[in-house]
Amino acid sequence: MKTSIPKLNLFSIVGLLSLLLLVAATVAPLSTALVAPASEVTTVDQIGSLSDAEIEGILYMREEEKLARDVYLTLYEVWGLSVFENIARSEATHMEAVRTLIDRYGLADPAAAEVGVFTNPTLQGLYDQLVADGRTSLADALRVGAAIEEIDILDLQQRLAQTDQADIELVYENLMKGSRNHLRAFASTLTRQTGKTYQPQFLDPASYESIVNSARETGGGQGQGQRGTR
Residue 191 has pLDDT above 50, yes or no: yes
CA 111 → CA 17, 27, 108, distances in Å?
Answer: 22, 21, 9
In this structure, are residues 193 and 157 in contact, taking their beta carbons and an 8 Å threshold?
Answer: no
What does the pLDDT average to over 111-124? 98
The dihedral of CA 22, 149, 78, 221: what is its sign? negative
Mean pLDDT of the chain: 83
Residue of 41 and 219 predicted with greater confidence = 219
| Domain limits, the chain | 48-212
Mean of the pLDDT values across residues 71-84? 98
pLDDT for 49 equals 86
CATH superfamily of 48-212: Ferritin, core subunit, four-helix bundle (1.20.1260.10)
Residue 7: the pLDDT is 42
pLDDT tens per residue, range 203-215 = 999 999 999 999 9
**What percent of the chain is modeled with pLDDT above 90?**
73
- CA–CA gap between residue 59 and residue 123 (Å, rounded): 12
Query: What pLDDT is recorded for position 63?
Result: 98
How confident is the model over 125-136, as pLDDT tens digits?
999 999 999 999
Q: Residue 92: pLDDT above 70?
A: yes
Long-range contacts of 24-28 (CB under 8 A, 24+ apart): 24/93, 26/93, 27/89, 27/90, 27/92, 27/93, 27/221
In this predicted structure, what is the pLDDT of residue 205?
Answer: 98
pLDDT tens digits for range 26-56: 333 333 345 444 334 444 434 458 999 999 9
Residue-level pLDDT at 41: 44
d(CA 67, CA 181): 17
- Give the distance from CA 216 to its chain's centroid: 16
**Cβ neighbours around 195 below 10 Å, total:** 8
